[in-house]
Structure 1
Amino acid sequence: MSSIQESLKSAVRGNVWLPGEPGFDNVRRPWNLAIEQPVAAVVEAADADDVAALVRHARAAGLGVTTQPNGHGATGGTDGTILLRTGRLDALHVDPVTRRAQVGAGVPSGRLQAATAEHGLTGLPGSSPVVSVTGVALGGGLSWFGRAHGWVADSVTAYEIVDATGERRRVTAETESDLFWALRGAGGDFAIVTQLELALHAAPSLYGGRTLWTAKHAPAALDAYRQITAHAPDELTVWFDLLHFPGADPMVAIDATYLGEETEARDLLAPIDRLPQPLADTRRVMSVAELGSITAEPTDPSAGLSRAELLTTLDDAAAETLLSEPIAPLLSVQLRHLEGAFAQPSDSPHGPLTEPHALYLFGIPTDPEAVIGKQRALAEALPTSGRKPFTFLNPDETVADAFSPDVVTRLREIKHANDPTNVFRSNFPVIS
């Protein structure tokens, strides 16, 4: 154990774990247990001042800092870094008058939703309530309500950061436009975000849920999905899922949320009700705090292999390709309807999402080659645009898979200007 690592314990007030100490192997693990994450140390910062002290220590020691609340999106590129856990930066304040929220870096999406629901407001949550709001926003963020309000990052109005010199700063579009732009969807390569300020959105009523059938009804369910999404208002979001869980028969599901009244939602989702009797139908009036119940994703770490694509069309040929073979060995194949506000101008690295559908392919790595091969075969057979949402990149991909060459060039310039010695090591660095 080096003296640099030992001195870390006197540099910060939060918890520190060093290699060989009890608990170290557990606290260094990312959310995806299929990713090996070697680090020089793990620090659970006590507060933002502790983050600043850590950065100053790491910079002086010639070490990098990798920031994770709990490790969603980790890629394993962490050699020579101190892993910063931000779970204790959990302050949350919702102002229903200004419709703004101050959200600490460790606040999970579900907690923000519970706080906003009390006021008839909402953030822009994704499918999982345990992912941090900051992590989602730094990746751009695809939300249930993105068709109405765009990227999650589009709603960020300010960042509280620690910069590469260990100083605390507030970043807005007016004060530092380049850094503000980069933080709206290109990850944590430029600064450590300790708190976000978010614009909230009205949600006086919400209807949503999942309808589930046996896989033999997949063609009819996909047809219903295509009918609904062809004319969906921006307040309606619909996802289509092919599912094959271990020990269960294949199934198909349609997930939906509607920011509006139940009667309107039922009219818009009428094609679902014309399908055969489902195995289950959880659609109901719900709180924005209950969105995680729709897909019921695991809330504990597990191993997985993912791949995402953006589809340029979902015509008859694409639909036939999607259903032509069983999805095994994948667990799920999901289509997310985009368009709406996603396709509008966005002051972010991604810019508008002009592709109408996102495709997400997920499997458990019991046979990694088979899972990756199936993902590749499906992706190559479908009409994809060639770019991917940054928030859905996997460890084998880079920023070049998400952004255009001119955007990557601009991001590298911002990285050099703000972190010339590469103190910050994000999951997907802009300089490889």
Structure 2
Amino acid sequence: MDSLTALRSVVRGRVWLPGDPGFDAARRPWNLAIEQPVAAVAEAADADDVAALVRHARATGLGVTAQPNGHGATGRTDGLILLRTTRLDTLRIDPAARRARVGAGVPSGRLQAAAAPHGLTGLPGSSPVVSVTGAALGGGLSWFGRAHGWIADSVTALDVIDADGRSRRVTATDDSDLFWALRGAGGDFAIVTALELTLHPAPHLYGGRMLWTAEHAPAVLEAYRRITATAPEELTAWLDLLHFPGADPMVAVDVTHLGGEDEARDLLAPLERLPRPLSDGRRVMSVAEIGSITAEPTDPGPGLSRAELLTGLDDAAAKTLLADPITPLLSAQIRHLGGAFARPSDSPHGPLSEPYALYLFGIPADPATAQAVTARQRALAEALPVSGRKPFTFLGPRESAADAFTPATLERLREIKHRHDPRGVIRSNFPVLG
């Protein structure tokens, strides 16, 4: 029996080998534009299954890469065993301690739904289907990051399987180097089976999307600049230039406010004075409903994205952003950062001094469109005031850890990798040695 066929007797969860019915579906990442070649797929039944798989891989010279459902996949998986952690779905809330224990397969929306009845929240991103663990391992840019920092900053402990197949609990006092690396540099150092994190008070939330036709984009952008120049940390606003197939171009502002409606409307007064929008979805909402604001797809699909950090959004940048249609892109999004993001963070990325993030997205319907999307992304990025570094959580398939971290940070991460996994048993989407 070869080492891959032996997986069926090593783990209790499901195993797919090349040629098996369902193999192609099992190995497919979230982004269908990415081809993800793997030697096998194993869906772990529990943490013991993960440990058994890692020990088998180590003994047979194989490598393991872990994904709940493949957000952030890069396709750098040839010859590896793809470990699906979807069934690691433990979720426990301790309201009194404001703490959650979250399995590696738990999506953000499920955590939000469990925390909301207690007046608490995690740090959700725009999509409710991204796993909490995956977001935290990448650092994590949350709707509430201006108030509470990186998602990783709220992680207090991680349960991991190390490269020797041993179960360990990692905290700031128990292997502080590994704790530091895992909170923002991905899963290249150990396989996380669960984590514990601090929940934050959220007795009130007001949020939603305002949408206008593109003719109002200059006025909307100017209002957005005025709002973000003085916004308190409880307020987050994202600007979206949108052009969906078959529709006229539009501009939107998405907002969340950790506070009451009256205060939020006062803070958003520049938007209130604009021409009547096509729609205004702002309302008092539960933190469990936050995924409805941008209404991102909850099923896999193809996409090409590029992210940058902006050093500012001055008159020249605003003019550049609106100079030409974004087509063939579907969206060009500006996220306001600052606040707690800019404060000290004991994580690989550290504080974000850049006040805005830029996220550009298009669909590669065919090779020519893919080339046009990439060219438009590059042209916009080169024309805007970018800092030259990127959030690890937003890296694209052709980028590497070196695009997110300083040379000193990358050197420290590589030393930790060599110390904890000298044989390279565990591989992340963006290996620090790659």
TM-score computed with the length of structure 2 as normaliser: 0.99
In structure 2, what is the equivalent of residue 96 of structure 1? 95
Q: Gaps spanning 5+ residues in structure 1: where?
A: none
**CA deviations over 1:35-69 (Å, ceiling 9, x no partner):** 00010100010000000000001111111101000
1:386 to 362, 385, 388: 388
1:5 and 2:7 are equivalent in the alignment: no
Secondary structure, in 3 states, of the residue corresponding to 1:295? coil
In structure 2, what is the equivalent of residue 136 of structure 1? 135
Q: Structure 1: how far apart are the matches of 2:327 and 2:299?
A: 23
Give the CA deviation at 1:184: 0.8
AA of the residue aligned to 1:163: D
In structure 2, what is the equivalent of residue 151 of structure 1? 150
Give the CA deviation at 1:368: 1.0
Q: Structure 1: how far apart are the matches of 2:60 and 2:176?
A: 31
AA of the residue aligned to 1:34: A
Give the CA deviation at 1:266: 0.6
Secondary structure, in 3 states, of the residue corresponding to 1:3? coil
Give the CA deviation at 1:293: 0.3
Q: Structure 1: how far apart are the matches of 2:363 and 2:45?
A: 35
Secondary structure, in 3 states, of the residue corresponding to 2:21? coil
AA of the residue aligned to 2:10: A
In structure 2, what is the equivalent of residue 325 of structure 1? 324
Secondary structure, in 3 states, of the residue corresponding to 1:400? helix
Map 1:276-425 onto structure 2 (within 5 A). Answer: 276-366=275-365, 367-425=369-427
**CA deviations over 1:388-412 (Å, ceiling 9, x no partner):** 0000000111111000000000000
Secondary structure, in 3 states, of the residue corresponding to 2:415? helix
Q: Structure 1: how far apart are the matches of 2:249 and 2:60?
A: 53
**CA deviations over 1:332-373 (Å, ceiling 9, x no partner):** 000000000000000000000000000000000121110000
Q: Structure 2: how far apart are the matches of 1:123 and 1:336?
A: 19
In structure 2, what is the equivalent of residue 206 of structure 1? 205
1:80 and 2:79 are equivalent in the alignment: yes
In structure 2, what is the equivalent of residue 170 of structure 1? 169
In structure 2, what is the equivalent of residue 38 of structure 1? 37
Q: Structure 2: how far apart are the matches of 1:7 and 1:399?
A: 33
In structure 2, what is the equivalent of residue 161 of structure 1? 160
Q: Structure 2: how far apart are the matches of 1:263 and 1:385?
A: 36
Q: Structure 2: how far apart are the matches of 1:39 and 1:278?
A: 48
In structure 2, what is the equivalent of residue 427 of structure 1? 429
AA of the residue aligned to 2:211: L
AA of the residue aligned to 1:136: A
Q: Structure 1: how far apart are the matches of 2:21 and 2:263?
A: 56
Give the CA deviation at 1:80: 1.2
Q: Structure 2: how far apart are the matches of 1:179 and 1:3?
A: 33
Give the CA deviation at 1:262: 0.7
In structure 2, what is the equivalent of residue 233 of structure 1? 232
Q: Structure 2: how far apart are the matches of 1:271 and 1:313?
A: 20
In structure 2, what is the equivalent of residue 53 of structure 1? 52
Q: Structure 1: how far apart are the matches of 2:323 and 2:62?
A: 50
Give the CA deviation at 1:29: 0.3
Q: Structure 2: how far apart are the matches of 1:321 and 1:83?
A: 42
Map 1:100-139 onto structure 2 (within 5 A). Answer: 100-139=99-138
Secondary structure, in 3 states, of the residue corresponding to 1:290? helix
AA of the residue aligned to 1:402: A
AA of the residue aligned to 1:196: L
Secondary structure, in 3 states, of the residue corresponding to 2:48? helix
AA of the residue aligned to 2:382: E
Q: Structure 1: how far apart are the matches of 2:114 and 2:197?
A: 13
**CA deviations over 1:98-118 (Å, ceiling 9, x no partner):** 000000000000000000001
Give the CA deviation at 1:179: 0.3
**CA deviations over 1:279-335 (Å, ceiling 9, x no partner):** 110000000000000000000000000000000010000000000000000000000
Q: Structure 1: how far apart are the matches of 2:309 and 2:217?
A: 21
Q: Structure 1: how far apart are the matches of 2:253 and 2:370?
A: 28
Q: Structure 2: how far apart are the matches of 1:74 and 1:175?
A: 30
Q: Structure 1: how far apart are the matches of 2:202 and 2:344?
A: 23
Q: Structure 1: how far apart are the matches of 2:340 and 2:164?
A: 37
AA of the residue aligned to 2:429: N
Give the CA deviation at 1:196: 0.6
AA of the residue aligned to 1:63: L
AA of the residue aligned to 1:385: S
Q: Structure 1: how far apart are the matches of 2:165 and 2:422?
A: 13
Q: Structure 1: how far apart are the matches of 2:39 and 2:8?
A: 13
1:216 and 2:215 are equivalent in the alignment: yes
Q: Structure 2: how far apart are the matches of 1:402 and 1:396?
A: 13
Secondary structure, in 3 states, of the residue corresponding to 2:159? strand
Give the CA deviation at 1:275: 0.7
Secondary structure, in 3 states, of the residue corresponding to 1:170? strand
AA of the residue aligned to 1:286: M
Q: Structure 2: how far apart are the matches of 1:281 and 1:84?
A: 42
Q: Structure 1: how far apart are the matches of 2:398 and 2:54?
A: 28
TM-score computed with the length of structure 1 as normaliser: 0.99
Give the CA deviation at 1:237: 0.2
- State the identity as a percent: 77
In structure 2, what is the equivalent of residue 21 of structure 1? 20
AA of the residue aligned to 2:199: L
Give the CA deviation at 1:4: 1.1
AA of the residue aligned to 2:432: V
Q: Structure 1: how far apart are the matches of 2:359 and 2:164?
A: 38
Give the CA deviation at 1:84: 0.4
Q: Structure 2: how far apart are the matches of 1:37 and 1:239?
A: 32
